[in-house]
Each structure stands twice: as structure tokens, then as C-alpha cells.
């Protein structure tokens, strides 16, 4: 097991600081992609569905392959069935991306409602502690977003996933730009 001593860490930090421009360039590229996604949310939604479809198809194939390495029949059938379900779901994401976007949007709404309720419960349970108000506020926002998505479903399934993708790309872009500029600022001037 390799441990990271002070010299190795400093060297890694210096190498990362020397590459600050790459972080800024990646951030700018992500901002551009986020702007393109905002420009056409339907295409961004379909791209999101295709990405999920590829991931499910790939995962399904891996699980099917894994099934043949399992020693017991019960586990073999579990992994085989699980892999087949993933692969079929991935195939349907490509076959009918609009239906897949409706299903994924509904699952997103359910997940947001559940996460909002959980955050509210955790915040309420810890309301005597400092910062619990932020947890409660986050729970309310998450719950409201989930309810709003659910109330407009299935009509909003054409653009919701694309909107989330666009927002994520823009936030990631700004994060990489800020990180790259922080690396540049923190870099020691060479003598």
C-alpha cells in the first residue's frame, strides 16, 4: 500500500497547478455544452435518455457475463434475470426514447419527493441542532420540485431531463473554471 508523504503530495499539487489552464478550458467547454443543452431541451433530454440507455445496456451485459461465473443455480438465475432486465430496459431507451424519458421523469419526481420528505424528517429530528433549518429548507425545495414535476407529468418529460442536464453542465463548468483559476492563483511564482 502506497502512502502519500509530504514531498509526493507537494509534487502532485505542483503538477496539478501547472495544468490550471486545462481545468479552465474544460469548464468553458462544459459551459458551452450547457448553453447548447438550454437551447434545445428536447435534444438534451434524448441525449440523457441515450446515456442512461447505454449505461443500462452495458450493466446488463456485465451482469449476464457475471451470471455464468456464479457457482449456484439460484444466484445464476438471479444475475441472469437482473442482467436481462437491465439490457432490455437499455434497449427500450434506444427504441423509444420519448417513452423512456417519461418513465425516467416520473422516477425522478418520485425520487425527489422521497428525498425531500427524508430531508424534512432528518431536519425535524435534529431541529435543536445548529444548521437544521438549512436541511429543512432543502427538504422543502426538493419536495416542491418533485411535486411540480409530478403534477406536470407526462407533458414535461420532453424537457425536464434536458433541463437538469443543462443546469448540471453549467454548474460543472463554473466549478472547473473556479478550480482552475484557484490553482493559478495558488501557484507559486517560479524564480
Structural domain boundaries of the chain? Answer: 23-186
pLDDT at 191: 44
Q: What pLDDT, on the 0 to 100 scale, is given for residue 150?
A: 94
| pLDDT number for residue 5 | 65
Q: What's the distance, CA 71 to chain centroid?
A: 34
Residue-level pLDDT at 129:
87
Cα 41-36-32 angle, rounded to 5 deg? 145
CA 99 to chain centre: 21
Nearest CA among 100, 104, 101 for reference residue 158: 101
Number of Cβ within a 10 Å radius of residue 12 = 11
- Cell numbers for 23, please give them: 481545468
> How far is 85 from 90, CA to CA, in rounded Å?
8
pLDDT at 42: 92
Predicted local confidence at residue 128, as pLDDT: 86
Which regions in the chain score pLDDT beneath 70? 1-6, 187-191
Q: Whole-prediction pTM value?
A: 0.71
Give the pLDDT confidence of 66-108 residue by residue, as tens digits.
888 887 888 888 889 999 999 999 999 999 998 999 999 999 9
Amino acid at each position: 500500500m502506497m502512502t502519500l508523504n509530504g514531498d509526493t503530495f507537494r509534487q502532485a499539487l505542483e503538477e496539478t497547478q501547472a495544468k490550471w489552464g486545462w481545468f479552465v478550458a474544460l469548464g468553458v467547454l462544459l459551459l458551452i455544452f450547457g448553453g447548447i443543452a438550454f437551447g434545445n431541451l428536447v435534444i438534451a433530454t434524448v441525449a440523457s435518455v441515450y446515456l442512461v440507455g447505454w449505461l443500462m445496456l452495458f450493466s446488463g451485459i456485465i451482469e449476464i457475463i457475471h451470471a455464468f461465473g456464479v457457482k449456484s443455480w439460484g444466484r445464476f438465475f438471479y444475475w441472469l434475470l437482473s442482467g436481462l432486465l437491465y439490457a432490455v430496459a437499455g434497449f427500450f431507451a434506444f427504441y423509444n426514447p420519448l417513452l423512456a424519458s417519461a418513465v425516467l421523469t416520473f422516477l425522478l419526481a418520485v425520487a425527489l419527493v422521497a428525498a425531500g420528505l427524508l430531508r424534512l424528517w432528518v431536519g425535524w429530528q435534529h431541529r435543536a441542532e445548529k444548521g437544521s433549518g438549512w436541511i429543512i429548507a432543502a427538504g422543502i425545495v426538493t419536495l416542491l420540485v418533485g411535486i411540480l414535476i409530478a403534477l406536470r407529468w407526462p407533458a414535461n418529460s420532453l424537457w425536464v431531463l434536458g433541463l437538469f442536464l443543462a443546469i448540471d453542465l453549467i454548474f460543472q463548468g463554473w466549478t472547473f473554471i473556479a478550480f482552475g483559476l484557484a490553482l493559478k492563483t495558488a501557484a507559486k511564482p517560479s524564480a
